[in-house]
Amino acid sequence: MEAFLGTGLLGSGFVRAKLRKGKEVHVWNRTEEKAKALEAAGAKAFTKPEDAAKGAVRIHLALSDDKAVDEILERASSGFAPNTILIDHTTTSAQGAEKRTQTWKERGFSYVHAPVFMGPQNALESTGYMMVSGDEKTVKLLEPELSQMTGKLVYLGPKADRAAGIKLLGNLFLISLATGIADTLALAKALGIPASEVSSLFDWFNPGAMAPARLKRILKAEFDEPSWELKMARKDTRLMLEEALRGDMSLIAIPSIAREMDRWIEKGMGNKDWTIIAKDAVT
C-alpha cells in the first residue's frame, strides 16, 4: 500500500494513475474535500496524515513548499512503518531537500527528492519528466515504481540536493520563456500587430533551435567576436521600450535587461557580443 500526502492538481493526477494500475492508495490533503473526491476512484481518504501513512511502504508528497513538507512529514511520522520510504515530488529549496535527507536518515528513514516537470494531465497519463537524486542504492530500488509514474525518469547523481536545484533551473527557464512571450505579445499589441501574426512568426522563425549553440558559446566565454554587438542589442531594446510606451503598453523583462546592458556598456564592453551580460555567471 502507498500513501499520497497532498492531492492538489498534481497529486490527484498521480493518485488516479496509481489507482488505474490497481494500486491501493491512502490519501490526505489539507483541504479534506480534495482527498475525499478521490474515494470515488478507489482511494481511501483520511483526515490526518499520520492515519493515511499507517501501513504504507511508500509515502509520496506533493505539497506547496519546504515548510509544508517539514510540517506534514513530522505530523505523519507517528504512522511510519520501519521500512517506509519517503518520496517527495514537491518543488523545494535545494538546502531543504539536503537537510531533510539527512534528518530522516538519522531518524531511520530514507527520504528521496523526486521533483517533476509535469502538469496534472501528465501525472494522470504518466508522461513528462521526473528527476531524482540521492543514494544510488535507494534510487535503484525505487526506479521500477517511479518509472511507472512518468514518461522519463532522470537520475541526477548522489547529491541529495541536485534534483531540487535542477528543478529550479528548469522552472526559471520556463518563467523566463513565458515572460518573453508576454513581452513579445505586449510589443505586438503596441505596434498594432495581431497575435495571430506573432504566432505565424514562430512557424518559420525558431529561436529555440539556437539555444544549444548559444549556451555553448556563453559557457566558453566567447564574447570577443560578436554576432550581435552589445551596443546594437541595447539600441534595439531602446526601440522596443519606445514603441511599447508609444502604444501605452509596459514590458516586464526588457527594462531589467536594458539596465544590465547599460551596466556592461559603462564598463566599456559595448563592442563585445551582447551575451557578455552573462559573463559573471560563467567566469
Summarize pLDDT for 202-236 with one digit per residue, the tens.
999 998 888 898 999 899 998 999 999 999 999 99
Q: Partners of 19 in the beta sheet? A: none
pLDDT at 253: 97
Q: What is the spatial distance between Cα 260 and Cα 237, in angstroms, rounded to a whole number?
A: 11
What is the CATH number that goes with domain 2-159?
3.40.50.720
C-alpha cell, 19? 489507482
Question: Is 283's pLDDT higher than 90?
Answer: no
Reduced 3-state DSSP string for 163-213: HHHHHHHHHHHHHHHHHHHHHHHHHHHHHCCCHHHHHHHHHHCCHHHHHHH
Instruction: Report the candidate in 65, 114, 126, 87 with the shortest Cα–Cα distance to residue 4.
Output: 87
What average pLDDT does the segment 29-37 reach? 97
- Cα(109)–Cα(100) distance, integer angstroms: 10
For 49-97, how does the pLDDT look when each residue is reduced to its tens digit (9 = 90+)?
999 999 999 999 999 999 999 999 999 999 999 989 999 999 999 999 9
Query: What b/e string do you get for 137-151 counting C-beta neighbours within 10 Å, with b at 16 or more?
Result: ebbeebeebbeebbe
Give 102: exposed, middle or buried? Use CB within 10 Å, 0-12, 13-18, 19+.
exposed
Nearest to 237 by CA among 215, 214, 273, 262: 262
- Would you say residue 252 has pLDDT above 90? yes
Identify the pLDDT of residue 73: 98
Question: Do residues 43 and 22 make contact, with C-beta atoms less than 8 angstroms apart?
Answer: no
Mean pLDDT, residues 151-162:
98
Looking at the DSSP assignment, which residues form a beta bridge with residue 2?
Answer: 25, 58
Query: What does the alpha-carbon distance between residue 33 and residue 40 come to, in Å, rounded to a whole number?
Result: 12
51/44 Cα distance (integer angstroms): 11
**3-class DSSP assignment, residue 5:** strand
Distance (Å, whole) CA 124 – CA 132: 19
Closest by CA to 231, choosing from 267, 203, 279, is 267
Which one-letter DSSP state was computed for residue 95?
Answer: H
CATH fold, domain 166-282, is N-(1-d-carboxylethyl)-l-norvaline Dehydrogenase; domain 2 (1.10.1040)
Query: What value does the mean pLDDT take over residues 27-44?
Result: 97
Backbone angles phi, psi at 112, to 5 degrees: -125, 130
Q: Is the pLDDT reported for residue 189 higher than 90?
A: yes
**Residue spans in the chain of domains classed CATH 3.40.50.720:** 2-159
Residue 199: partners with Cβ closer than 8 Å, 6 or more residues away? none
Q: What is the Cα gyration radius of the chain?
A: 24
Residues of the chain with CATH 1.10.1040.10: 166-282
- 22, 102, 106, 16: which is closest to 62 by C-alpha? 16
